[in-house]
A and B are shown apart, each in its own frame.
Chain A
């Protein structure tokens, strides 16, 4: 899923500094699962903003709404009753797709992103998320013991590990596991070192972002 986290409070406060009425809109997709922008996080942020503004002479009105998914036009339509300039700002608590879809559908509104969209990952434990994919558009993890060197090696090496691998950790940080250590361990354990001696493919980055923004069209699904 997409892993996001809330922006620093200072930045969000900057968004609403000159506003009187705002609405925080959450999303029940990925950001609910990673506890960044679901109903609960919307409630907390709205409450914090109200409390913050209650120190001033003119408290901010902060309303709350959480919709099913902000990356789907049919759900974006569901919040039309909140639009038509009823609010000075819409604070989207989804990944960056949410605020983009909201502003495209409701171009007159001032939509702000309240989350930073961080990476594609999974939960290692509740409260810990780690990057596992870079959406390169051409999955090759089966060649690497089921581990992704593109997203999980700091240098995206296809023939790692580099000389900076030390004690199973990456040279960039002791917090980062050297994925190549894990790949090699797996390969050694499976006794597939001979396959591994082959010089691996050179990555074709066209399927990744380097080929320009990507789009998938599936004719059988179109109306």
Chain B
């Protein structure tokens, strides 16, 4: 068995979700109380608003082994701080370009919008994104991981 194959068999994606406290984080809560299934590979980081999301947060997550990162904020027009989610989207788009520059798939970072009442939508996003990252495979940064 080659080392790479071994990695792939053992591999489960590690995903970090930066969730706004006003919407996505509450939606995650609701998904939990509704007992909706979503992948355990998603680790949620609470942020006060997606406006707090910064490029360096995603980069650090990826440096520490995340295979994918997403930012989940309020529906556009409904940001508690007016335009935090709009700014976050721009930063996500910027980071997509930077990832491409260093040979990483831009799809490893994404921005989603949802409201606090959309528990099922939260679970759906978590599933879809996990599927996306599973298809992409491990982060290019991990190709030489020692086991």
Q: How far is the CA of A44 from the CA of B55 in the complex (A)?
A: 7
Q: Is the CB of B56 within 8 A of A40?
A: yes
Tell whether, in the assembled complex, residue B55 and residue A52 are in contact, meaning their CB atoms are under 8 Å apart: no
Report if B75 contacts A (CB, 8 A).
Answer: no
Q: How far is the CA of A56 from the CA of B98 in the complex (A)?
A: 18
Interface residue from B55, B101, B140, B141 paired with A9 (Cβ < 8 Å): B101
**A54-B141, A55-B141, A56-B144 known; A48 and B59 CB under 8 Å?**
yes
Find chain A residues with CB under 8 A from B144 CB.
54-57
Are A52 and B59 in touch, CB under 8 angstroms?
no
Interface of B (DSSP majority class): helix
- Contact of B59 (CB < 8 Å), options: A8, A47, A57: A47
Is A43 interfacial (CB-CB < 8 Å)? yes
Decide: A51 near B63, CB < 8 A? Known: A9-B101, A10-B101, A57-B144: yes
Flag whether A50 is at the interface (Cβ < 8 A). Answer: yes
- Give the number of residues in B that approach A within 8 Å (Cβ atoms): 17
Q: How far is the CA of A52 from the CA of B92 in the complex (A)?
A: 18
CB <8 Å contact, B102 and A48: yes
Interface residues of B in 101-147 (CB under 8 A from A): 101-104, 140-144
Let me know if B56 and A52 touch, CB within 8 A. Answer: no
For residue A49, which residues in chain B have a CB less than 8 angstroms away from its CB? 102
Residues from chain A with Cβ under 8 Å of B27 in the complex:
none
Complex Cα–Cα for A58 and B103 (A):
16
CB distance from B135 to the nearest CB of A (A): 19
Find out whether the CB atom of B103 lies under 8 angstroms from the CB atom of A52. Answer: yes
Specify which chain B residues have a CB less than 8 angstroms from the CB of A10 in the assembled complex: 101
Contact yes or no, B104 A51, CB < 8 A: yes
Shortest beta-carbon distance from A28 to chain B in Å: 17
B-binding residues in A (CB < 8 A): 8-10, 13, 40, 43-44, 47-52, 54-57
Residues on B lying within 8 angstroms of A by beta carbon are 54-56, 59-60, 62-63, 98, 101-104, 140-144
15 contacts between A and B (CB under 8 A): A40-B54, A47-B60, A48-B59, A48-B98, A48-B101, A48-B102, A49-B102, A51-B104, A51-B141, A52-B102, A52-B103, A54-B141, A54-B144, A55-B143, A56-B144
